[in-house]
Amino acid sequence: MPPRMLPEPTPETRHFWDGCKEGELRLQRCTSCSDSYFPPRPFCPKCGSRDVEVYKASGTGVLWSYVINMRPRPDMGTEPYAIAVVKLAEGPVMMTNIVDCPQTPEALQLDMPLKVSFAKQTDDITLPLFAPAGA
Amino acid sequence: MSWNRNSVAVVGAAETTKMGKIPDVSVIGLHADAALNAMADAGLKPSDIDGVATAGISPVELAHYLGITPTYADGTQVGGCSFMLHVRHAAAAINAGLANTILITHGESGRSRVGAGGWPRAPSSLTGQFEMPYGVAGPPTMFTLPVLRYLKTHGLTPADMAPVATIQREWAAKNPRASYKDPLTVDDVMNADMIAWPFTKLMCCLVTDGGGALILTSAERAKDFPQKPVYVLGAGESVETPMVSQMEDFTSSKAFRVSGKKAFETAGISHADVDHLMIYDAFAHLPLYGLEDLGFCKPGEAAGFIAERNTAPPSDGKKGGKLPLNTNGGGLSYMHSGMYGMYALQESVRQMRGIAPAQVDGAKISVCHGVGGMFGASGTIVFSNEA
């Protein structure tokens, strides 16, 4: 199996990936308009202010939407897997995979509560995956 | 300066000589074949063209390959609706005097991959960092991502998308150049191979080779060309996000809404004026989003609208629907090389010329709506055959 495709952090996103490595889901919010946003950038996409801060998010959310890829990408193994979007408690949505859960339409119900589950890939990269909140 | 209705017209339009599987022609060759066919259609030579626009390859490659020396070049590349944007920009450019005769081309070796480039997603890009690591594998796993939220919001099920495919197959059956013409049932669609749940193979577009080209000039000059002019009545465009996971609303495309509204406003038309509609259908949910975001249906009502045959051709002695949609068979049954927008435009032009294989009798206004990327961009053109 080829190695999993992994992100290459940039200066603007480094805090997010460092957070995952340290077991924290880090979001940003605007100190002017209080908007929380994702993906990372050094200004608020709502009002344009550069006065933004990084904070530790709750790591909880709900399953917002997904597909189950029946033709796995070679680096993802041989079994079908869900490509999901979680709507975080703080508002933003992010793509992820769902772990500790069968990858079936029956098990994956929209709006089910999820919590972050960090999956170390390399010394530099840990991916924020999500698991059912009760698991 | 404001939008100038019907001041610019399509005077040349053609697809590649062959369509479907073309293993003996490269990407640039498909551009050139379509361009030469469109020039023949308009009675023009490369030396008569002074503006070029294309996506997929650079307008520099196109101009050099065809021997054109342009005073206008548009390389707008926003995915499959790039050509709608090219038409809009060309209309503005002709009115502004930047060029007189603009050639827009598309060519893609989607199936045979002859001379085709890759689909790069740098691991440092936003998509590379925040989508690729989760196993996305191209459009079938990305474009489809919002649909479960759409279905749940409106109390629908995946089977409600199936009539999009079956009814477009009815249109394809009337088109000799369509890739697939055999009748389809809802069961056929639902029982086809699962590609990315809830999408079966028959809810996904074809992967084919082909191309198309358009030539635009001023309405004043258009009268002297051999073909019936097809006027650009209105146009709109917008972009939203390079990441489908970051769409503002999973049940509606902001780019569709903005582009469509602008197109209707500039054309000065209402929905009741529309005789013929094309909505780029890379996947079966796109006509649902399109019908709703363009304002033809209320949110959640498009699937029922299609199932009730409002967009269908005449069948078994029954009259056709009031809003003929994707009358070439669409990306689901006609062809889809990768950037399908050009084929939607070609069908609108054929309908306005009155020469489409499944001609809508008396059609005077055609709306052609495109999507680019995965709900990333949009372009909408309103055509008319009356000056």
Is B11 within 8 Å of B229 (Cβ atoms)? Answer: yes
Is B234 within 8 Å of B265 (Cβ atoms)? Answer: yes
Q: Which residues of B touch A10 (CB under 8 A)?
A: 124, 129
- Quick check: A135 pLDDT over 70? no
> Distance between CA atoms of A10 and A26, rounded to whole angstroms?
15
Q: Could you tell me if B245 lies within 8 Å of chain A, comparing CB atoms?
A: yes
Q: Are strands A81-88 and A113-120 parallel, antiparallel or unpaired?
A: unpaired
**Across the interface, do A70 and B195 touch by the CB < 8 Å criterion?**
yes
> Distance between CA atoms of B162 and A58, rounded to whole angstroms?
39
Per residue in A89-127, is it b (16+ CB within 10 Å) or e — as a string?
Answer: bbebbbbbbbbebebeeeebebeeebbbbbeeeeeebbb
Residue B201 has a pLDDT of 97
> Distance between CA atoms of B199 and B202, rounded to whole angstroms?
8
Q: Which residues of A touch B141 (CB under 8 A)?
A: 67, 69, 83
Rg, chain A, Cα only: 16
**Across the interface, do A10 and B133 touch by the CB < 8 Å criterion?**
no
> Distance between CA atoms of B368 and B361, rounded to whole angstroms?
18
> Distance between CA atoms of B324 and B291, rounded to whole angstroms?
12
Q: What is the DSSP string of B283-332?
A: BTTHHHHHHHHTTSS-TT-HHHHHHTTTTPPPBTTBPPPSS-B-TT-HHH
> Distance between CA atoms of B382 and B365, rounded to whole angstroms?
7
Q: Could you tell me if B155 lies within 8 Å of chain A, comparing CB atoms?
A: no
**Across the interface, do B198 and A6 touch by the CB < 8 Å criterion?**
no
- Give the gap in angstroms from C-alpha A64 to the nearest C-alpha of chain B: 7
**Across the interface, do B137 and A69 touch by the CB < 8 Å criterion?**
yes
Please state the pTM of the whole predicted model: 0.95
- In B, minimum Cα distance to A121 occurs at B133
Q: Which residues of A touch B193 (CB under 8 A)?
A: 70
- Give the gap in angstroms from C-alpha B242 to the nearest C-alpha of chain A: 11
Report the sign of the C-alpha dihedral through residues B300, B302, B303, B304, in that order: positive
Amino acid at A53: E
**Across the interface, do B243 and A8 touch by the CB < 8 Å criterion?**
no
Q: Tell me the β-bridge partners of B235.
A: B381
Q: Which residues of A touch B130 (CB under 8 A)?
A: 7, 39, 94-95
Residue B112 has a pLDDT of 87
Q: Which B residues in the span 162-221 are in contact with A, Cβ-Cβ below 8 Å?
A: 193-199
Nearest to B123 among A8, A67, A97 (CB): A8
Q: What tokens appear for B218 in the block?
A: 């001023």
Residue B252 has a pLDDT of 98
- Phi/psi for B201 (5° steps) reads -55, -35
Computed over every residue of chain A, the mean pLDDT equals 96
Residue B260 has a pLDDT of 98
Listed residue (B147, B152, B197, B135) closest to A110, CA to CA = B152
Listed residue (B283, B258, B273, B299) closest to B367, CA to CA = B273
Q: What tokens appear for B314 in the block?
A: 């005449």
Q: Could you tell me if B152 lies within 8 Å of chain A, comparing CB atoms?
A: yes
pLDDT of chain B, 387 residues: tens digit per residue = 688 999 999 999 999 999 999 999 999 999 999 999 999 999 999 999 999 999 999 999 999 999 999 999 999 999 999 999 999 999 999 999 999 999 999 999 988 888 776 555 789 999 999 999 999 998 999 999 999 999 999 999 999 999 999 999 999 999 999 999 999 999 999 999 999 999 999 999 999 999 999 999 999 999 999 999 999 999 999 999 999 999 999 999 999 999 999 999 999 999 999 999 999 999 999 999 999 999 999 999 999 999 999 999 998 888 899 999 999 999 999 999 999 999 999 999 999 999 999 999 999 999 999 999 999 999 999 999 998
Q: What tokens appear for B194 in the block?
A: 């699962």
Q: Which of A5, A41, A96 to mutate to test the interface with B (most CBs of B within 10 A)?
A: A5
Interface of A with B (CB under 8 A): 4-10, 13, 17, 38-39, 64-73, 75-76, 80-81, 83-85, 93-97, 105, 110-111, 127
Per residue in A80-129, pLDDT (tens digit) is 999 999 999 999 999 999 999 999 999 999 999 999 999 999 999 999 99
Is B326 within 8 Å of B317 (Cβ atoms)? Answer: no
Residue B318 has a pLDDT of 83
